[in-house]
């Protein structure tokens, strides 16, 4: 009998793990990780030191749930084109691990939960900004922009900027020029971060009729735009120095990491201009992640230093 029970329980455990994993996949956890990198350091900057650990954890949890909700709604809406793209063909709504109804209920539940949680544990402004982030990503980007214009990622990327202002408002209950500048850093960073990825999967987007810049204009045009936005991103990051009285650490990181990011952007354009079959766009994609991480770590560490 024990053997029989074990043989029944094992598949049940595997099924439960697969279901849980499918729900987690709906939230796009790797995207959430990057968003959280921009939240906690801004909270330290807003406090001018270390804020309450409880407040930080509460804000990170609320922000994660809000981002997860937006990402899950995105998967529900985009499940038709996800079936056509190699990069997204293993998502749970494509494989059948979850139904659209299950995903919609889940997205709604954690979305409402995130707003209520932030309202109770932080303040109304942080909760309102989280709601705005969900609404912007789902409605403005996914429903309105993504399939209609090559400018989709520029304006749609605003949703990814909200963790900065959510973190600041969770600490202060208000907004100031420093979080607005960092909001704009992420806004300007998003195109040179995402466009190289769209170059890598250009054929996928073309097959799915999604008008990404690489599909509509070609690689050389993407290379030019990546350079322009990389320069603008670094310039905006340097504006934080006088506005927030940033110290030597942040200044050095913003200059050195920014210079590296710009160099990698120019190299991408050079490879595209020479018409190489492999322009290695993922080098810029990964460089952009490292750049943003370094800048925001410096944002968080700089206020803790005595100089």
Question: DSSP readout, the chain?
Answer: -HHHHHHHHHHHHHHHHHHHHHHHHHT-HHHHHHHHHHHHHHHHHHHTS---HHHHHHHHHHHHHHHHHHHHHHHHHTHHHHTT-GGGTTSHHHHTSS-HHHHHHHHHHHHHHHHHHHHHHT-HHHHHHHHHHHHIIIIIIIIIITTT-TTHHHHHGGGGGHHHHHHHHHHHSS--HHHHHHHHHHHHHHHHHHHHHHHHTHHHHHHTT---HHHHH-HHHHHHHHHHHHHHHHHHHHHHHHHHT--HHHHHHHHHHHHHHHHHHHHHHHHHHTT-S---HHHHHHHHHHHHHHHHHHHHHGGGS--
Beta-carbon contacts of residue 32 (< 8 Å; ≥ 6 apart): 64, 67, 68, 71
**Per-residue tens of pLDDT for the chain, all 307 residues:** 455 545 445 555 668 888 999 999 999 998 888 888 999 999 999 999 999 999 999 999 999 999 999 999 999 999 999 999 888 899 999 999 999 999 999 999 999 999 999 999 999 999 999 999 999 999 999 999 999 999 898 988 899 999 999 999 999 999 999 999 999 999 999 999 999 988 888 888 888 889 988 888 888 999 999 999 999 999 999 999 999 999 999 999 999 999 999 999 999 998 888 877 778 889 999 999 999 999 999 999 999 998 7
What would the two tokens of residue 195 be? 């466009």
Residue 69 and residue 205: Cα distance in Å, rounded? 24
Tokens of 295: 């800048």
**Which pair of tokens denotes residue 42?**
């801004």
Domains, the chain? 26-173 (1.10.357.140), 176-307 (1.20.120)
Close Cβ partners of 105 (under 8 Å, ≥ 6 residues apart): none
Q: What was the pLDDT predicted at 8?
A: 47
Which residues touch 90 (CB under 8 Å, ≥6 apart)?
none
Cα 211 to Cα 34, 144, 196, 217, 288, distances in angstroms: 25, 13, 14, 9, 22
Place of tokens 């959510």: 166
pLDDT at 294: 97
Query: For residue 2, what pLDDT is reported?
Result: 55
**Amino acid 11: pLDDT:** 58
CB 180 within 8 A of CB 45: no
pLDDT at residue 198 in the model: 86
Q: Could you tell me how many residues make up the chain?
A: 307
The pLDDT of residue 3? 57
Contact yes or no for 42/168 (Cβ under 8 A): yes
Residues 6+ apart with CB under 8 A from 171: 43, 46, 47, 51, 55
CA distance 135 to 137: 6
């Amino acid at each position: 009998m024990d053997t029989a029970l074990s043989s029944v329980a094992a598949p049940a455990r595997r099924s439960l793990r697969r279901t849980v994993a499918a729900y987690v996949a709906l939230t796009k956890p790797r995207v959430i990780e990057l968003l959280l990198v921009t939240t906690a350091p801004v909270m330290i900057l807003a406090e001018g030191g270390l804020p309450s650990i409880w407040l930080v954890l509460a804000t990170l949890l609320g922000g994660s749930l809000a981002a997860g909700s937006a990402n899950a709604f995105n998967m529900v809406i985009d499940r038709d084109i996800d079936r056509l793209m190699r990069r997204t063909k293993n998502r749970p709504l494509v494989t059948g691990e979850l139904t659209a109804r299950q995903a919609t209920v889940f997205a709604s539940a954690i979305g409402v939960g995130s707003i209520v949680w932030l309202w109770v544990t932080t303040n109304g402004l942080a909760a309102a900004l989280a709601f705005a982030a969900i609404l912007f990503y789902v409605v403005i980007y996914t429903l309105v922009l993504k399939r209609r214009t090559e400018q989709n990622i520029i304006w749609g990327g605003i949703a990814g900027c909200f963790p900065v202002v959510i973190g600041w408002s969770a600490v202060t209950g208000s907004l100031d020029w420093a979080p607005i500048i960092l909001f704009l850093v992420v806004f300007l960073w998003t195109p040179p971060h995402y466009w190289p990825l769209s170059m890598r999967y250009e054929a996928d987007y073309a097959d799915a009729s999604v008008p990404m810049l690489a599909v509509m204009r070609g690689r050389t045009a993407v290379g030019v735009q990546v350079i322009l936005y990389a320069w603008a991103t670094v310039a905006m990051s340097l504006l934080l120095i006088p506005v927030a009285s940033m110290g030597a650490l942040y200044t050095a990181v913003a200059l050195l990491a920014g210079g590296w990011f710009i160099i990698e952007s120019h190299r991408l354009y050079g490879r595209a201009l020479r018409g190489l079959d492999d322009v290695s766009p993922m080098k810029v994609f990964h460089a952009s992640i490292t750049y943003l991480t370094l800048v925001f770590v410096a944002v968080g560490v700089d206020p803790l230093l005595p100089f």
